[in-house]
Amino acid sequence: MQGSGLPSLEIAGLTIGVREGVLVLLILVALYIGFVLLRFRRTPSRQALAAVEPVAAAPIVAPPAAEAPAPAYSETASHLASEMLAEGLERELAQLRDEVEVMRGELAALREDMQQELAHLRATQTVAPIYGDAMQMAAAGYDASMIAERCGIARAEAELVVALARSRVE
C-alpha cells in the first residue's frame, strides 16, 4: 500500500497495511466468539443445575466410571419426548378433522344429487309411458314448445307435463 497514503507497518520485510490489520482483528474476534460459544455449550443450563439436589455433609466419593445419567436429565428427556408426541398427535388429529369436514361436505352434495335423481325417476315412473320422454325433458328444464316439438304432443299437453314436473320438484 505504498501509494495510498494510509499508514503501514513493516516487519521483517513484510508490509502490513490497515486493511490487513483489520482483517487479522476480524479473524481474532471470530475465533474468540467461537471459543465462547463452545464453552457456553458445554456448561449445563441453570434449570439443570437447580434440579440437582445438593448433598449436605456427605463424604466425597468418586463416581463410578460408567454412571447412568442423572434422574433429572432422563425425566426431562422423557417429558420432552411425550410433549413432542402429544403435539404431533394433536396436529394429526386436526388434519384428520379437516379431512372429515371436507368429506362431509362432499357427502352432502352427493346426497342432494341423488335426491334430485330420485325425484326425476319418480316423476317419470308415475306418468303414462307415452309421456315418459316429455316428463324427463320437463324435469331437465326444457320449455313446453321444445317438448311438444320433440315428443310429438300438443303444446297444451306439454304445458301440463311441465307444470306437473315443477310441482313434483317443489
* Domain hosting residue 33, numbered range: 7-48
Q: Let me know if residue 77 belongs to a domain.
A: no
Q: Let me know if residue 44 belongs to a domain.
A: yes
Query: How many domains in the chain?
Result: 1
Q: Can you give the pTM of this predicted structure?
A: 0.33
Residue with more model confidence, 77 or 54: 77
Which residues, in sequence order, are CB contacts of 1 under 8 Å at separation 6+?
Answer: 8, 15, 17, 18, 19
At 108, the pLDDT band (50, 70, 90 cuts) reads very high
Q: Let me know if residue 28 belongs to a domain.
A: yes
pLDDT at 107 over 90: yes
Q: Let me know if residue 66 belongs to a domain.
A: no
